Chain A
């Protein structure tokens, strides 16, 4: 008798699970890759057919997903580009085998955002030696022989931008003894250390220091927990810089739950969420870490294979190294940056 009841309960649970098949997410957001609206140049006209292999980390984070989306969307704009996308992975040895496949397939160029720059250097060098143009994105190789061109965001510069903006706020608002807090990302990553170093260096410029520092894990949940503890640690805050807008969703949830808004809230990365909050006056600013790097990497790879230069430079060759700026988005310029904001 109880056995029957149990079987019935089981069947009911399975059935109701099937009924709650609420896994649809259909109205997906607008496709990214709208681009910065820069003027077209003769470079954009169709040229020699180019096959580009693209490999990046697993898109387990809004920014990384945006990197992939921008890249594939950019490649579609050019009729002369065939893009081969290797499945994103966080395993260096898996990514090495992806690159080896690209080498065997004799692609014209490889755009590579390595899971770990040093670990992918030797296979990238091998590709270069095989005559394939390698464009290194975001995380640098340990040898300059491994890539023709490197395009990267500026993590240190991101910290500097945030710190400089914080100094500006202190000055404008005439805060006598400001309490400045920092919510970092994963502390073990060099990029987090660079961001924090830049922030501290810029604050030195106006004789300020970071009074409170907590670290999260680039996830919403960890951001919420870190922020909740931070609010307890500091009964009054003047400026908070959060490294990452993905974890920022959790950080903001903690602020809202505690009904704390006495401080200026600065974000990082530049997600669409953050930009919408800035527009609505719920956030002060965010510092962009461009999610368009890989898309630009694909543009550069195409130019390199077609032996064209950058149209706005006198020099006929594509530069060796391009470091992207980390601008501050505030309510006064948010409309300009909104098309580049990524959904997280």
Chain B
């Protein structure tokens, strides 16, 4: 039953995305249905996409993280300070990448330890991290926009491999890795078990606290990756990066079909959720529509997508199992 309903959930999303593409092609013609535009949409989706894949794990494991945007901001700022950049100049731009990843994972570790061992509700812990990390980013950057001077870095991440932008490749790798991790490994099965019923998981001998901590570290790492991508896209690190990512990521994950209360998760759904939002913005811009209309449409689409998904899943549930 589960596999059937899961497929149908995904089908609902594919239909929604397909409809959106039909609307795009009908209203904007070739400007929408071109390789260039496809790559633009994918590039725009890649940064928030990486964060959303990470978020899928935390939510599936029964948690929530409101601090992702702030962690992206802090990582991008920390990795572009003059000190980091001059170290990168002396050695290699990989220093900047390493710094961003470490800062991201470090923030995730703090979140995870406080949630798992401090026994504080994830909502509270990550709300505190949201305020703290962005504040720290502002202090470090002195509220300035820090320009990335290393052209090698910008060219590498801004470039393409066989016509596919590196950023999109990174997103694809993260998504594929996430799918394997969630669906094909013990780690993934444990995540589902702990999210579904942590007490039962504990009685079954799983190290719930340790696993939960790892989930937040994983998401922090994803935020670090997103920070690197954002630094390449905008050629800057600033404390304003990652604004409202928490909402965008949670929306994409939930639309995708991951249960907000944990225990069920889908990386494919999340990726589709992200693509739906990015395509929507793209179609609206191509048609020169204003931002207020976009916001209304976004709200409608969230509801419609979830309704569609539930209908299809229920129908599948009825016809399959019972």
The chain A residues found within 8 Å of chain B, CB to CB, are 3, 6, 10, 13-14, 16-17, 20, 22-28, 59-62, 65, 187, 211-215, 217, 219-226, 228-233, 235, 246, 249-250, 253, 256-257, 273, 343-344
Contact = CB atoms under 8 A, between A and B. Distances in A.
Contacts of B98: 20
A17 B79 CA distance: 12
Nearest to A26: B82
A245 to B, nearest CB: 10
Contact of B290 (A23, A25, A187): A187
A228 B36 CA distance: 11
B240 A219 contact: yes
Given A13-B102, A25-B81, A257 B233 contact: yes
B147 A249 contact: yes
Given A24-B82, A187-B290, A225-B44, A14 B106 contact: yes
Interface of B: 28, 31, 36-37, 40, 43-44, 78-79, 81-84, 87, 98-99, 102-103, 105-106, 109, 138, 140-147, 158, 207, 210, 217, 230, 233-236, 238-243, 281-282, 285-286, 288, 290-292
5 contacts: A20-B102, A212-B288, A229-B281, A229-B282, A232-B37
Given A28-B142, A60-B143, A228-B40, A233 B288 contact: yes
A140 to B, nearest CB: 24
Given A221-B234, A344-B145, 6 more contacts: A24-B83, A25-B81, A62-B143, A187-B291, A214-B285, A215-B291
Given A229-B44, A232-B36, A24 B81 contact: yes
A343 B144 contact: yes
Contacts of B140: 23, 25
B289 to A, nearest CB: 9
A26 B140 CA distance: 10
Contact of B285 (A222, A230, A250): A230
Given A23-B83, A65-B143, A224-B234, A17 B106 contact: yes
Contacts of B87: 22
Given A215-B291, A253-B235, A62 B144 contact: yes
A232 B241 contact: no
A25 B234 contact: no
A256 B154 CA distance: 11
Contacts of A226: 285
- Leading 4 A-B pairs by shortest Cβ distance: A22-B84, A229-B285, A219-B240, A24-B83
Candidate in B83, B210, B285 with the most chain A CB atoms within 10 angstroms: B285
Nearest to A21: B83
Contacts of B84: 20, 22
Contact of A22 (B37, B44, B81): B81
Contacts of A24: 81-83
A156 B21 CA distance: 38
A136 to B, nearest CB: 24
A10 B40 CA distance: 38
Contact of A20 (B28, B99, B147): B99
B236 A27 contact: no
B81 A23 contact: yes
Contacts of B286: 229, 232-233
Contact of B44 (A219, A220, A223, A228): A228
A344 B141 CA distance: 11
Nearest to A224: B234
A220 B291 contact: no
Given A220-B241, A232-B286, A253 B78 contact: no
A6 B290 contact: no
Contacts of A61: 143, 240
Contacts of A219: 238, 240-241, 243
A302 to B, nearest CB: 27
A219 B105 CA distance: 25
A249 B236 contact: yes
A119 to B, nearest CB: 23
B252 to A, nearest CB: 15
A321 B223 CA distance: 48
